[in-house]
Amino acid sequence: MEENDRQFKIIDRLYLALAILPLVVGMAINVLTSPASDGIEIAGARIFFEIPLPLQPLPITESQVNSWLVMVTIFFLCLYFTHGLTERANTKRQLILEWVVEATDNLVRENMGKYFEGFSPFVAAIMALSAFSSLLSLIGLYPPTSDLNVVAGWAVIVFVLITYYKNKCGFVHYLKSFGDPVPFLAPLNVISEFATPVSMAFRHYGNVLSGSVISVLIASALQGVSSMLLGWLPGFLGQVPFLQIGIPAVLSIYFDVFSGCLQAFIFAMLTMLYISSGFPADDWEKLKLQKQQLKEANN
């Protein structure tokens, strides 16, 4: 019994170590590859190297690498939380996990309906990936959500799902939907269709990036103000940016933690609403009933 408990704890610690390791690797890569700088720089994701391809080279960027590090971290965290599950929850870890699963199921059921109950893992994955990606800025890493290419990729996946469920009743039915409520609005409906992934991508990217930029600018301004107001202090005290102590950390709670998690929730909510609202549930039920009646008639 003690041997089993020891093995259980070893595996637990191994999963936690493997979840933390990608973040440590990311920080090491950031330290080793960041160029020297005399001041504050606001730039996009760095390009580490390029893979030659027939059409054009494929750049491997900082945001891509950090995205994979986040996915590996989430994977091992899932293994940690699901390790040793029992039929009846007897640990705080399992209670937390069950609460997360139930909350996600209820969120999907309330916003998408019973037909989309299987979307819970997808919605949870979107929120986790987005939130963890935004929180990378807390440890000095470039957040992938500040890269439009990454967020646009997520939006394209959502757009494919929206289009798939809109075509559930057939392509002809899908084309007719552009004429609702009146045919002459079809051009506007087409524009609105393709504007959906664009708006989702820019909303998420813009909010996360603006928060990072504002935090950096305020921290830089506080350093200048501290030097101007307190530079008269004797010795090294005049060189210490006292106004930078605490204030940037408080701002980071909003811009990095609250805003990052909020944008993850908003992106997931828009995903659920766009997919469920685009699905012609009533027409789909009628089509299923017609197919069932036709099948019974042929039998």
How far is it, in rounded angstroms, from Cα 47 to Cα 225?
A: 34
The pLDDT of residue 81 is above 80:
yes
Average pLDDT, the chain: 82
Q: Which residue has the higher pLDDT, 95 or 185?
A: 95
How far is it, in rounded angstroms, from Cα 160 to Cα 220?
A: 42
Closest CA to 189 of 197, 204, 177, 198: 177
Q: Which residue has the higher pLDDT, 250 or 123?
A: 123
pLDDT per residue over 145-203, tens digit each? 888 889 999 999 999 999 999 888 888 888 888 877 777 778 888 888 888 889 999 88
Q: Which residue has the higher pLDDT, 186 or 41?
A: 186
Write the CB contacts of 201 (distance below 8 Å, at least 6 apart in sequence). Answer: 148, 151, 152, 154, 155
Residue 62, both tokens: 């900082």
Packing angle, helices 148-166 and 259-278, rounded to 10: 20
How far is it, in rounded angstroms, from Cα 137 to Cα 209?
A: 11
Q: Where are the alpha helices (DSSP H) in 136-185?
A: 148-166, 171-177
Beta bridge partners of 93: none
pLDDT per residue over 167-182, tens digit each? 888 888 888 888 777 7
How far is it, in rounded angstroms, from Cα 246 to Cα 72?
A: 32
pLDDT, residue 139, reads 83
Write the DSSP string, 43-93: --PPEEEEE--SSS-EEEEHHHHHHHHHHHHHHHHHHHHHTT--SS--SHH
Residue 163, both tokens: 């289009």
Instruction: Say how many C-beta atoms besides its own lie within 10 A of residue 127's C-beta.
Output: 22
The model's pTM = 0.82
Contact call for residues 173 and 280 (beta carbons, < 8 A): yes
pLDDT, residue 15, reads 93
